[in-house]
Structure 1
Amino acid sequence: MNERILISGASIAGLTLAHWLARHGFRPTIVERAPELRAGGNGVDVRDDAVTVVERMGLMARVRELATDVRGMKFVDAADRAVARIDTRDPGSVEIMRGDLVALLREATEDAEILFGDSIRALEQDDDEVTVTFEHAPARRFDLVIGADGMHSNVRRLAFGPEERFVAFKDHYFAFADADAALGEDRWVTMFNTPGKMTGIYRSGNHAQAKAYFMFRSQRLEVDHRDVAAHKRLVAEQFADHPWAPTRGLLDAALADPDFYFDSLGQVQMDSWSNGRIALVGDAAWCASPASGAGAELALTGAYRLAGELAAAGGDHRTAFARYDAVHRPLVDRKQQIGPNVRLMIPKTDGGRCVRDALARLPLMKALGAAERRLQARSTRPLTDYRRAA
């Protein structure tokens, strides 16, 4: 029942979903706008129940081999002197570069059909199937369609409505790109702040390439999320006079990077993640924003639950989509509470930065973070083993 399932987006959520659907006996097809897997990206955390999902996929040992080995965040002054550090290491989680995780997930879905360099133009569903019109490939009919195509989801726009109804702007923009590996301290994320702005250098202990980060507070700007040239001009203007010496080198490297990434800090907020035979997963359904640090965790567990509920319901999408929403939404609601994270990274004022630095110097910070993770783990719905439920 409902075996033929189209997934839009070869993302963390999309690839994970394809793996588990195939494991449960469904026939997934992925359509991906890019001509190949997106290899770039920043570090993402595999933590809590996401570790269990990856272990059940047989990938956790390789994830640990590719871990970034980042110790924490270091805050510096304009003279590049360290003023505070926060150790962010957590024995229950592993940070891995997004591109490395996507490559592993692709290996785990090597039998799935992927239509690269294509996207969905139109969706028309009836009582039995969904007719999908592609930009390039001939139209096809599927039993179900799942959007795993990010915060600016095309599937969500076609099946639920315009983006502005669902994406809440969180008063900031951010960018990241490759940077000179000689910049920054090895195994640390080095950050410099002026009021409402942050420049950072991400240095993984296990990767030669560094990452440049930029974030700034702003009112909503009229900028197309696909206009990379406009994004680069905007970031260059915002940080042209930033007083931290490494900023110039970081900007030069970022502006020359063909994989330069820019977007608003936004959250997707929806009352329902399904509409008939069409559903959403990952950032398309609930993007908590990069400030949450929970994107990979939510994508891995959400995709696992969606595939598992379809299997447990024998392919009955009405039952499965409702159960998927019920079991996963409590975790999403908690992870979308990102206020303290933004204030930590980008204080609004010099006074706020001084308070942040003072708090960061206290050993209490790590203990509070560990206590919060324990409380969240206890309040989260246990992860069902759908391998037995199906």
Structure 2
Amino acid sequence: MTKVLISGAGVAGPALAYFLSDHCEVTVVERAPEPRGGGYNVDFRGAAFDVLAELGIEERVRALDTKMRGTTLVDETGAMVAELPAEVFSGELEVPKADLTRLLHDITKDRAHYVFDESITAIDGRHVEFERRDKAEYDVVIGADGVWSTVRRLAFDEQGLTHLGLSGVGFSLANHLGLDHKGMLWQHGGAAIYLYSSGDPRRMTVSMSFATESPELDRCPRDEQEQAVRAAFAGHSWEIPGLLDAMSAAEDYYFGSTCQIRLDRWSRGRVALLGDAGYCAAPTSGMGTSQALTAARSLARHLIATDDHEAAFRAYEAELRPYVTENQEKGRQAAQSLTATPA
């Protein structure tokens, strides 16, 4: 039986593990000590619903619907300018990412071997080395480990990372605005703030984005990141001073830049990339989760159809390239709209 190693237990990795598990011996390694919690809500569009049905979880996912009712666009003072429909930010269906991750782990934990608190350190053909466990041999290695993929770094000559000019911080705080399954969007001079409450009515989630020239802040200490956020939003009133104070106190603080991964090819030898690790479309595309699920199904089908892994990788890439290209264009356009400075 073909031995497959998957790095990453987010969305793409477990979905691939599910589809392969009846045909292959699957191991999933994940750097985190347990299935990841937290993160923004994720949404589903188009073909992703067919994949959810094949995974047998469509109804369970639909039951997690955040039931967002749209977003209010406000001006510099907080006065309402317009109302945006829910689909703009929430797609056809939106659910908390942590709930989706736990659900995918739940349906695969008895079908694949999970190894948490572990990471790959070297790949040489079939031979794979790890930080803690003994080295082992696998027929195929799949990098489903996100934008900063370890597998991509180890197996590819290029990182392929393209910064889209946007970085931001996320956290939660008390819902003092009384948002009820609603969002609020503030934009000014290349900076944007999105507030929403979709779960616990006592809490709201904050995303504060601003224009940057590179993703280097992602690797900086938290205090340097916070300084950059404060500088980007300095001089603005409305709710912003209180949000900045809440940022520094937040225990669920998260910082990340809006990037895409663009590579000439998604596989080398026995290694292939899946989801954000190989072709991230950027959070601004609204297609990350749908793309991950659709790609996992495609890769699994091609690997099952042939004993030639390189042929399977080529077929998978040929099938997905047009879809990924379209999604990346959506991501670029949306990032440009958020960072554009009004004339």
Fold similarity call, TM over 0.5: yes
Change (3 A) 1:203 1:309: same
TM-score by length of 1: 0.82
2:177 is aligned with 1:178: no
Give matches, 1:259-270, under 5 Å.
259-270=252-263
Give matches, 1:231-242, under 5 Å.
231-242=225-236
- Native 8 Å contact 2:166 2:335 kept in 1: no
Give the structure 2 partner of residue 347 of structure 1.
340
Give the structure 2 partner of residue 140 of structure 1.
136
CA distance in 2, matches of 1:292, 1:243: 29
CA distance in 2, matches of 1:92, 1:188: 14
TM-score by length of 2: 0.93
What one-letter code is carried by the residue in structure 1 that aligns with 2:7? S
Change (3 A) 1:159 1:46: same
State the percentage of identical aligned residues: 38
CA apart distance, 1:240? 4.0
CA apart distance, 1:108? 1.1
Unaligned residue ranges in structure 1 (runs of 5+): 352-390
Change (3 A) 1:146 1:221: closer
- Native 8 Å contact 2:7 2:145 kept in 1: yes
Helix, strand or coil: the match of 1:169?
strand
- Native 8 Å contact 2:170 2:254 kept in 1: yes
CA distance in 2, matches of 1:227, 1:4: 39
CA distance in 1, matches of 2:215, 2:28: 33
What one-letter code is carried by the residue in structure 1 that aligns with 2:157? G
Deviations 1:276-335 (A, max 9, x none): 10000010010011110100010010011111111122x421121111001111110000
Unaligned residue ranges in structure 2 (runs of 5+): none
CA distance in 2, matches of 1:274, 1:256: 42
Structure 2 residue aligned with 1:211, among 198, 205, 214?
205
Change (3 A) 1:184 1:150: farther
Give matches, 1:221-240, under 5 Å.
222-225=216-219, 227-240=221-234
277-286 or 336-345: which moved more?
336-345
CA RMSD of aligned residues (A): 2.0
CA distance in 2, matches of 1:305, 1:190: 37
Give the structure 2 partner of residue 317 of structure 1.
309
How many residue pairs match? The answer is 340
Helix, strand or coil: the match of 1:336?
helix
CA apart distance, 1:225? 2.8
- Native 8 Å contact 1:193 1:346 kept in 2: no
Helix, strand or coil: the match of 1:137?
coil
CA distance in 2, matches of 1:184, 1:284: 37
CA distance in 1, matches of 2:97, 2:172: 13
CA apart distance, 1:226? 6.5
36-45 or 248-257: which moved more?
248-257
- Native 8 Å contact 1:254 1:260 kept in 2: yes
- Native 8 Å contact 1:180 1:253 kept in 2: no
What one-letter code is carried by the residue in structure 1 that aligns with 2:270? R
CA apart distance, 1:7? 0.6
